[in-house]
């Protein structure tokens, strides 16, 4: 058994190294004409700092991150080290999917359920339920729970990273279900839920966003990704980084994987004057109102909700403000938290907690879970 675990772990690390190397190469090529600002002292400090977690830390990471954000630091987290060791040590991946299921977010915001979008239908473990968890036993009853002529969103209950499977939905007056503008009869729609989403989904209201958020792109619901770290030293929840994410014109989602941009947000809720894409290209932003609406309310919400994730020291919360000024929690990310855009926008991920994280991860076991279906 030990040999098998060691083999799986080795293959896991090789896969991550290869994936991150390909991504890093694309970023380096994109930034090849930008001058490096990393000093030789920083590179030496970087190699020494990360050696407890990585046999040979790749200093190319600090080179690309510093080129974008203009910060010369050895504290930048190498992406491959993050995915191989840091995240699976700080978070117990055996619980990641269960805690990420959008059907049960109400458990984490008890007393603040109004922060969640209205849900019309749920798909849980192959069974369709109403918003209040009553089974929908007849396929023809699925449509009766969907209001007509209201814009809705259909998304996977888990694993919707990068905007995968997120589509616009509308129940039309002629009794059709429109998915991204393509009309289907009820039977076909039920088949889509069963076959494409494996009856693991949520159908929820589409948020009409606050004018400040929509000013960046009107077609997508633009969000604040707030990353928290629950300290291993005092168990207090720390907001370590926040970015504004917004999509491209015509896009429904704001994810960088789908072509979106990200813009750093300071600890005081003030946005940077530039945004970046996933390759580190800088896009200057002419923002008149630089303060994120509801930022302090967001900090309060995630600080309380994160305490209810005992198996996760790292979480990414996606939130926005709706057209009436109300805070909405759209997603809680429990694994595969993208860190490149955090560090490109704002500098080293963990900042003052970097050495604490390294010490914790070098003394604890990581979790590897092969969470897939056949």
Q: Considering the entire predicted model, what is its pTM?
A: 0.94
Please check the confidence at residue 267 and state whether its pLDDT lies above 90.
yes
Place of tokens 């994410």: 245
The pLDDT-based confidence of 372 (bands split at 50, 70, 90) is: low
* pLDDT value of position 86: 98
* pLDDT value of position 61: 97
C-alpha torsion 349→264→23→311, nearest 10: 40
Give the rounded percent of residues in the chain with a pLDDT score beyond 90: 83
* pLDDT value of position 137: 86
Please check the confidence at residue 39 and state whether its pLDDT lies above 80.
yes
C-alpha torsion 98→103→109→111, nearest 10: -140
Distance CA 221, CA 193 (A): 23
**What is the number of helices (H) and of strands (E) in the chain?**
11, 14
Distance CA 158, CA 104 (A): 11
Cross-strand partners of 193: none
Mean pLDDT value across residues 283-288: 92
Distance CA 236, CA 264 (A): 23
E strand or H helix at 355: helix 354-363
Kindly list the domain boundaries of the chain, sorted by start residue.
1-114+207-367, 118-205
Cross-strand partners of 205: 152
* pLDDT value of position 249: 87
What are the tens digits of pLDDT across the range 128-184?
999 999 999 888 788 889 999 899 999 999 977 667 889 999 999 888 999 998 999
Mean pLDDT value across residues 32-37: 91
What are the tens digits of pLDDT across the range 200-256?
999 999 999 999 999 999 988 999 999 999 999 999 999 999 999 999 888 877 777
Phi and psi for 362 in degrees, rounded to 5?
Answer: -80, -10
**Average pLDDT over the chain, rounded to whole?**
93
Distance CA 211, CA 53 (A): 44
The pLDDT-based confidence of 99 (bands split at 50, 70, 90) is: very high
Distance CA 294, CA 269 (A): 9
Task: Identify the architecture of domain 1-114+207-367 in CATH.
Answer: 2-Layer Sandwich (3.30)
Mean pLDDT value across residues 271-287: 95
| DSSP code, position 243 | E
* pLDDT value of position 1: 74
Strand order of the β-sheet with 201-205 is 127-130, 119-124, 201-205, 152-156, 167-171, 177-179, 182-184
What are the tens digits of pLDDT across the range 289-318?
999 999 999 999 999 999 999 999 999 999
Strand order of the β-sheet with 274-276 is 282-284, 274-276, 261-265, 237-246, 223-230, 314-321, 327-333
Contact indicator for 324, 51 with CB cutoff of 8 Å: no
Contact indicator for 276, 344 with CB cutoff of 8 Å: yes
* pLDDT value of position 374: 58
* pLDDT value of position 373: 62
Phi and psi for 352 in degrees, rounded to 5?
Answer: -65, -15
């Amino acid at each position: 058994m030990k040999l098998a675990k060691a083999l799986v772990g080795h293959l896991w690390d090789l896969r991550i190294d290869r994936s991150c190397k390909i991504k890093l190469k694309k970023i380096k090529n994109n930034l090849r004409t930008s001058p490096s600002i990393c000093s030789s002292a920083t590179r030496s400090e970087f190699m020494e700092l990360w050696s407890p977690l990585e046999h040979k830390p790749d200093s190319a990471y600090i080179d690309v991150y510093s080129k974008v954000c203009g910060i010369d630091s050895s504290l930048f987290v190498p992406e491959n080290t993050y995915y191989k060791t840091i995240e699976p040590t700080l978070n117990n991946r055996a619980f990641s999917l269960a805690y990420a299921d959008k059907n049960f977010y109400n458990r984490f915001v008890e007393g603040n359920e109004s922060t969640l979008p209205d849900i019309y239908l749920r798909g849980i473990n192959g069974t369709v339920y109403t918003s209040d968890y009553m089974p929908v036993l007849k396929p023809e009853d699925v449509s009766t729970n969907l209001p007509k002529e209201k814009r809705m969103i259909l998304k996977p209950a888990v694993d919707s990273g990068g905007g995968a499977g997120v589509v616009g939905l509308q129940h039309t007056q002629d009794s059709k279900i429109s998915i991204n503008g393509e009309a289907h009869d009820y039977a076909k729609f039920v088949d889509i839920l069963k076959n494409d989403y494996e009856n693991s989904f949520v159908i929820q209201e589409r948020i009409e966003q606050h004018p400040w958020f929509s000013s960046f792109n009107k077609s997508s619901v633009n969000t604040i990704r707030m990353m928290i770290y629950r300290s291993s030293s005092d168990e207090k929840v720390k907001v370590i980084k926040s970015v504004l994410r917004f999509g491209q014109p015509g896009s429904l989602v704001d994810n960088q994987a789908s072509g979106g941009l990200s813009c750093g947000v300071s600890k005081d809720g003030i946005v940077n004057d530039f945004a970046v894409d996933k390759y580190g290209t800088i896009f200057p932003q002419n923002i008149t109102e630089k303060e994120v609406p509801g930022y302090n309310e967001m900090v309060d919400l995630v600080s309380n909700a994160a305490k209810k994730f005992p198996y996760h020291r790292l979480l990414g919360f996606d939130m926005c403000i709706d057209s009436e000024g109300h805070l909405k929690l759209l997603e809680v990310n429990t694994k595969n938290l993208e860190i490149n855009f955090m560090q490109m926008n704002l500098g080293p991920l963990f900042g003052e907690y970097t050495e604490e994280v390294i010490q914790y991860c070098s003394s604890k076991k990581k979790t590897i879970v092969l969470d897939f279906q056949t």
